[in-house]
Structure 1
């Protein structure tokens, strides 16, 4: 066998082995790269609607859930609480919900909700994104001697009524956001979808 024949065979073997190793390496590199195009389970869950059981939310009470990584507050208002909402207009920055981006059309009312007794609101202050605290009782508070119930943001002092409307004199300029939501039945609220777009 000639020297050229041995070299050609060896060359073919080396080229083939190098190509195979290169293909396997490219496959190992491609799998995570292609996988990065697919949303993670956490990302899928973050955008998914959130179901909230409201059957055990008592009068005046609030529950907190999560939707898209943000807290969602669901509070059950009493008739007494609802009766105070009309009289607060003179103390609010936007009593008529002029900023239409803050709530869906079906929540563009004094209650800012589908059903007057139940409010669904993002628990994110529209000033700098802190989580306002729920203070439903009508009683003097250190942050407001004439408090009529609602949410108070401990970070910078923004105050919101029981419809999530911001009080004048608060650092926040907008009402709390009402997310899209619908009722699956009398006991379950689905946040993230509504009947109008479902």
Structure 2
């Protein structure tokens, strides 16, 4: 045995340094592990809900989100737009939304939970093109209707509830995805009302 005196300061330093390095290793392993609990890009594309902040959308404005790899159109309709929806029912193919193109809670005159918000997939029901939003100049496509969606590929036309006009190639209204409003400022696409 050696008669060298024990250096307690050095021993404490080495013990503390080992604990710090070990703690850093645990954190280094835990961060990716916990991060793996989040849905992957593949899972999000497969249908994970998408959150949309609707608080800053101006009346008449459209914003786009993406859910399941498809565009979702969210429009804040003006009071006048909501009032005008019933004025052209006689020109629509399915004015009462009798075809299953929306959840049951959105089977109403507005095809939405809240009349001021239109939520629809931005995919034409003819061949899957993306209709463009026309605000104020839609009457060039449908006389007497100032706002709507026009599909430039084959000329299909939809109103501000996503309902298809007669005499166009699209056979159905735009699809309304499952959605809900967990609070006044947030739209959740992919989770239905009452499912959140």
Task: Give the TM-score of the pair, scaled to structure 1.
Answer: 0.76
Deviation readout 1:27-78 (Å, 9 max, x if unpaired): xxxxxxxxxxxxx922211121000011111010010000000000000111
Q: Which runs of 5+ in 1 are unaligned?
A: 1-39
Look up the match of 1:69: 69
Residues 89 and 145 of structure 1: is their aligned pair in 2 closer, same or farther, counting only changes over 3 Å?
closer
CA contact (8 A) 1:59 1:78 kept: yes
Question: Highest CA radius of gyration, 1 or 2?
Answer: 1
Q: 2:175 aligns with which of 162, 170, 177?
A: 177
The 2-side partners of 1:118 and 1:75 are apart by 6
Look up the match of 1:164: 162
Look up the match of 1:193: 191
Look up the match of 1:134: 133
The 1-side partners of 2:161 and 2:117 are apart by 10
The 1-side partners of 2:144 and 2:85 are apart by 14
CA contact (8 A) 1:130 1:153 kept: yes
Q: In the TM superposition, what is the alpha-carbon distance from 1:148 to its structure 2 partner?
A: 3.1
Q: In the TM superposition, what is the alpha-carbon distance from 1:188 to its structure 2 partner?
A: 0.7
CA contact (8 A) 1:72 1:120 kept: yes
Alignment of 1:85-96 (within 5 A): 85-96=85-96
Q: In the TM superposition, what is the alpha-carbon distance from 1:113 to its structure 2 partner?
A: 0.5
| Alignment root-mean-square deviation, CA | 1.4
Q: In the TM superposition, what is the alpha-carbon distance from 1:139 to its structure 2 partner?
A: 5.5
CA contact (8 A) 2:122 2:174 kept: yes
CA contact (8 A) 2:178 2:193 kept: no
Q: 1:146 aligns with which of 133, 144, 147?
A: 144
CA contact (8 A) 1:93 1:166 kept: yes
The 2-side partners of 1:117 and 1:144 are apart by 22
